Amino acid sequence: MNRLFPLLSLTAALLLAADAQQAQPGSLPGSLPGAAAAGNNQILALPTGPENPYCKPQMCARGRRHVACEKYTTPYHRSCLTAEPKMVNLTVHADLILRLHNEQRQRVASGKNSSLPRSARMVVMQWSEELATLAGYNARMCQAKHDDCRNTQNFTRSGQNIIVFNMTHRVEDELLERLYPELLGIGVRTWWGEHANMTAADMEHYPCDPKRQQ
């Protein structure tokens, strides 16, 4: 049986919201609140017509289609080749997921990362059940790829990280469940490792004013 992790494994999505205005007060040095992490196994029972709020044109950039506006009227996308896919609820690990991310973000916010400038507006990641639900839509595609758009009314610039784990042999459910925290740690470290490809000059493309971002 293949397991679909909205945050990690066979296909996955971590949704990060960049709108600092919408969140609660944060705690990181030099930080602002406003990032939200998602990883639930819920699915929205929404129609695909105009009455679906996620189908509104203003929800996504022109030419991009919202993941919740796609025709996912069946539990899994037709690209799911396995006979027994299973969604894994990672919400129980929300505190761990947030801690792992915020620890790395705090390194940047406090200037402890020598390759990047100290952050002046680093947002604190918080959990969003709505984004968690949308992450489930991505997982149900059974494809390790980014969807076009996963924005919400409160988080209009939501990003996404994806990672895949392949098992060489069948792992019993009880053992696999004990591995979830370790897999989450590996995933976050892998995503964080991508910072090595970013320089201080790259940060110039992301000024605080979204209208000036390139």
Annotated domain spans of the chain: 3-212
Q: Can you give the pLDDT at residue 3?
A: 53
Cα distances from 115 to residues 108, 135, 187, 203, in angstroms, run: 9, 31, 21, 11
| pLDDT at 46 (0 to 100) | 58
Calpha distance 73→84 (Å, rounded): 18
Query: What is the pLDDT at residue 50?
Result: 56
Q: How far apart are CA 3 and CA 71, in angstroms?
A: 22
Answer yes or no: are the C-beta atoms of 32 and 124 closer than 8 Å.
yes
Q: What is the pLDDT of residues 128-165, one digit of tens each?
A: 999 988 888 888 888 888 999 999 999 988 888 888 88
3-state SS of 179-203 is: HHHHHHHHHHHHHHHHHHHCCCCHH
At 95 the pLDDT is: 95
Residue 213, pLDDT score: 58
What's the pLDDT at 72?
53
* Stretches in the chain below the pLDDT threshold 50: 1-2, 4-35, 39-43
Task: Output DSSP code: residue 117.
Answer: P
The predicted pLDDT at position 165 comes to 86
Please give the angle made by the CA atoms of 92, 66 and 125, to the nearest 5 degrees.
40
pTM score of the predicted model: 0.72
Predicted confidence at residue 94, as pLDDT, reads 94
85 in the Ramachandran plot: left (φ > 0), alpha (ψ -120 to 50) or beta?
beta
pLDDT of residue 5: 47
